[in-house]
C-alpha cells in the first residue's frame, strides 16, 4: 500500500499532512478487498487523494501452483504495481513514498517521522517476527541470493542498535524522492544489465545498487511486526495460523497489536474445543496476566474458566498446617538444593482445588493452564490432533503434560502411533499446561501414577 506525501506534519495524526494513497488489491479468495474498502471509506478524509484499484477476477495466476506460490507471472504483476505507484508519486511531485505490504504491521505511531528524520534515500524500520525472519538482508551474493553474515543476528536481536547500511530491505520502506540518487530507481522493467533472480525485492535492491542509492535499516525502536511467509505448498489457513501466532507473541514481547477501530471484526465463537472444561489459574494480584491470557485464548477461539490461584506469598506455616498439607520428607530442589517455596505450595494447592472440582463436576477430560503459558505455533491444531490420535489407539492415559522442564537428558520411551508423545520420566516443573483425565483423580495419587508428556505444544 504505497503512500506518497509532501513534508509537513499534522500533530493530531503524527503523519504528514499532504498525503496521497494508492492501494491495489487483486487475486483474492478471501475478504481482503472488503476490509480495505471499509478502512479507506473511514479514513478518506485523512488523505488529499486516494487511488483505489481492486480487481475481483481472476482469483489466481495461470502459472501458480497454489495461493502462496510466487510464480513469474505473479512477480511481474507485483513489480508493475509498485512501478505504477512510484510513477504516480513522481507525477504528484511527492517528497516521499512509503511502501508497506499487507503482512507488515506498523505499531509505532512515530515510525514515519523517525524515518524521515534520518535523511536517507531508502530506509526501512526493522520489523520483528516470531522467528529470526525480518525485512532485511545483511548480505547478498554476486548472483543476487541471500548471503549469511556475522551482522544479521546482532542486528535482528538488537545487540547492535542504530541505522545501518544493508543491501536489501522489503515489506516496509521509505524512499526520499527529493534526492538525486532515487530519480532512476525502478521496480519494472528490471535494469538492462539485470541477471539476478526475477523477484521484486531483488530487482529493487539491484536498482538501488546501480543508482548508487544506499539502503538503510533502523532498529532503535520496536516499530512493528512482519508475518513469517509460508511455503509455496501451504494454504491460506496456514498463513492465518501463522498470523495468529504472531499476534500471540506480540502480546508477550510487546507492543501488542490492536485491530483498527475502522474495520468491523465479526465476533469470535469461543468453545471448549472438545474438552469438558478448560481451567485458567490466575493470581488475583496479576490482572495483567489474566488479561493477556484471555486475549490469547480468544485469538485461539478457546473459552476458559478463570480460577483464582492460592497466593503462596500470603501463606504462613499455620495456614499450611490447617490445610492439611505436609511437605514431602527428604525433598530438595534438584537444581538449588532448597525445600519447597511458599509459591510452589500455593501453586500445588491451586491445582489441587481444580482436581477436586473435576471430580465434583464429573469432568472426563479437562485442560489446566497457568497464566504464564506461552503458546507454540499450531498449538490448537496439534492439541486436537493429539486427542484424535489418543482416541484412535484407545490409550488409557491419566495425565498429559503440555509444558514441562525435563530433568534428565536421556531419551524417553515414545508412545506408539501417537506423534510427539512420550512416557515421562521425572520432570522439574510440569504444571504450566496439562490435560487431566478424571480416571486419574479417582486413583490414590499419592501412591504414584502413570504419566505422559506431550512435547512442545506450549512453552511456559
Give me the tens of pLDDT residue by residue for the chain, a chain 460 residues long. Answer: 566 654 433 332 355 556 788 888 888 888 889 998 998 899 888 888 888 888 888 888 899 988 899 999 999 999 999 999 999 999 989 999 999 998 899 999 899 999 999 999 999 999 999 899 999 999 999 999 999 999 999 999 999 999 999 999 999 999 999 999 999 999 999 999 999 999 999 999 999 999 999 999 999 999 999 999 999 999 999 999 999 999 999 999 888 888 888 888 889 999 999 999 999 999 999 999 999 999 999 999 999 999 999 998 888 877 777 777 777 778 777 777 888 788 888 888 898 899 889 999 999 999 999 999 999 989 999 999 999 999 999 988 888 998 777 777 788 889 999 998 888 887 776 656 788 887 666 655 433 433 333 444 444 4
Q: Are 372 and 460 in contact (CB under 8 A)?
A: yes
Are both 278 and 172 inside the same structural domain? no
Are both 282 and 173 inside the same structural domain? no
**Angle CA 49–53–55, to nearest 5:** 160
In this structure, the chain runs to a length of 460
Domain-ending residue, one of 176, 195, 226: 226
Distance CA 151, CA 153 (A): 6
Are both 299 and 189 inside the same structural domain? no
Please report whether residue 252 resides in a domain: no
Distance CA 124, CA 173 (A): 4
pLDDT of residue 459: 44
Q: Which residue has the cell 522439574?
A: 428
Total number of domains constituting the chain = 2
Q: Which of 390, 439, 445 lies closest to 418, judged by CA?
A: 390
Grid cell, residue 44, equals: 478518506
pLDDT of residue 303: 98
The helix (H) or strand (E) run that includes residue 412 is none
pLDDT of residue 272: 98
Please report whether residue 241 resides in a domain: no
Are both 312 and 443 inside the same structural domain? yes
Coil vs helix vs strand at 46: helix
pLDDT of residue 455: 45
Please report whether residue 189 resides in a domain: yes
Give residues with Cβ within 8 angstroms of 64, minimum separation 6.
71, 73, 74
Mark out the alpha helices in 300-378 (DSSP H runs): 317-322, 342-361
What is the pTM for the complete model shown? 0.85
Grid cell, residue 257, equals: 497489536
Q: Which residue has the cell 530487482?
A: 203
Q: Which of 351, 345, 347 lies closest to 327, judged by CA?
A: 345
CB atoms within 10 A of CB 199: 17
CB atoms within 10 A of CB 454: 25
Are both 214 and 347 inside the same structural domain? no
Are both 12 and 85 inside the same structural domain? yes
Three-state SS string over 417-451 comes to CCCCEEECCCECCCCCEEEEEHHHHCCCHHHCCCC
Q: Are 59 and 25 in contact (CB under 8 A)?
A: no
CA-based max dimension of the chain: 84
- The CATH number of whichever domain residue 317 belongs to comes to 3.90.550
Grid cell, residue 369, equals: 493452564
Beta bridge partners of 4: 20, 97
Distance of CA 196 to the CA centre of its chain: 31
Which residue range is the domain that position 433 belongs to? 267-459
Amino acid at each position: 500500500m504505497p503512500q506518497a506525501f509532501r513534508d509537513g506534519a499534522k500533530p493530531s495524526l503524527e503523519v504528514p499532512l499532504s498525503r496521497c494513497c494508492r492501494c491495489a488489491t487483486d487475486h483474492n479468495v478471501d475478504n481482503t478487498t472488503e476490509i480495505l474498502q471499509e478502512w479507506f471509506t473511514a479514513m478518506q478524509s485523512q488523505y488529499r487523494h486516494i487511488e483505489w484499484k481492486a480487481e475481483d477476477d481472476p482469483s489466481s495466476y495461470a502459472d501458480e501452483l497454489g495461493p502462496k506460490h510466487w510464480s513469474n507471472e505473479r512477480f511481474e504483476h507485483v513489480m508493475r504495481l509498485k512501478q505504477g505507484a512510484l510513477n504516480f508519486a513522481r507525477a504528484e511531485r511527492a517528497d516521499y513514498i512509503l511502501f508497506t505490504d499487507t503482512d507488515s504491521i506498523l505499531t509505532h505511531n512515530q515510525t514515519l517521522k523517525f524515518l524521515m528524520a534520518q535523511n536517507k534515500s531508502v530506509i526501512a524500520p526493522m520489523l520483528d517476527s516470531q522467528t529470526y525472519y525480518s525485512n532485511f538482508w545483511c548480505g547478498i551474493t554476486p548472483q543476487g541470493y541471500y548471503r549469511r553474515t556475522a551482522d544479521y543476528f546482532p542486528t535482528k536481536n538488537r545487540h547492535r542498535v542504530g541505522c545501518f547500511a544493508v543491501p536489501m530491505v522489503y515489506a516496509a520502506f521509505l524512499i526520499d524522492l527529493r534526492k538525486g540518487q532515487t530519480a532512476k530507481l525502478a521496480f519494472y522493467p528490471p535494469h538492462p544489465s539485470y541477471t539476478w533472480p526475477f523477484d521484486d525485492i531483488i530487482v529493487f535492491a539491484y536498482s538501488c545498487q546501480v543508482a548508487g542509492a544506499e539502503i538503510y535499516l533502523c532498529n532503535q525502536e520496536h516499530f512493528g511486526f512482519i508475518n513469517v511467509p509460508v511455503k509455496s505448498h501451504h494454504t491460506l489457513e496456514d498463513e492465518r495460523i501463522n498470523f495468529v501466532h504472531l499476534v500471540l507473541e506480540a502480546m508477550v514481547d510487546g507492543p501488542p497489536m490492536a485491530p483498527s477501530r475502522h474495520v468491523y471484526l465479526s465476533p469470535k465463537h469461543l468453545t471448549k474445543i472438545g474438552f469438558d472444561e478448560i481451567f485458567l489459574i490466575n493470581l488475583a494480584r496479576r490482572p495483567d496476566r489474566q488479561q493477556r491470557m484471555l486475549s490469547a485464548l480468544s485469538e485461539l477461539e478457546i473459552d476458559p474458566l478463570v480460577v483464582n490461584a492460592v497466593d503462596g506469598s500470603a501463606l504462613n506455616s499455620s495456614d499450611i498446617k490447617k490445610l492439611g498439607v505436609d511437605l514431602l520428607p527428604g525433598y530438595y530442589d534438584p537444581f538449588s538444593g532448597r525445600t519447597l517455596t511458599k509459591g510452589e505450595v500455593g501453586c500445588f494447592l491451586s491445582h489441587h482445588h481444580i482436581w477436586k472440582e473435576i471430580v465434583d463436576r464429573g469432568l472426563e477430560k479437562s485442560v489446566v493452564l497457568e497464566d504464564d503459558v506461552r503458546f507454540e505455533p499450531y498449538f490448537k491444531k496439534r492439541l486436537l490432533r493429539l486427542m484424535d490420535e489418543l482416541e484412535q489407539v484407545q490409550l488409557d492415559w491419566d495425565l498429559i503434560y503440555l509444558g514441562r522442564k525435563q530433568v534428565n537428558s536421556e531419551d524417553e520411551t515414545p508412545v506408539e502411533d501417537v506423534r510427539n508423545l512420550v512416557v515421562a520420566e521425572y520432570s522439574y516443573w510440569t504444571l504450566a499446561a496439562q490435560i487431566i483425565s478424571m480416571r486419574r483423580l479417582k486413583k490414590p495419587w499419592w501412591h504414584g501414577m502413570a504419566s505422559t508428556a506431550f512435547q512442545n505444544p506450549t512453552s511456559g
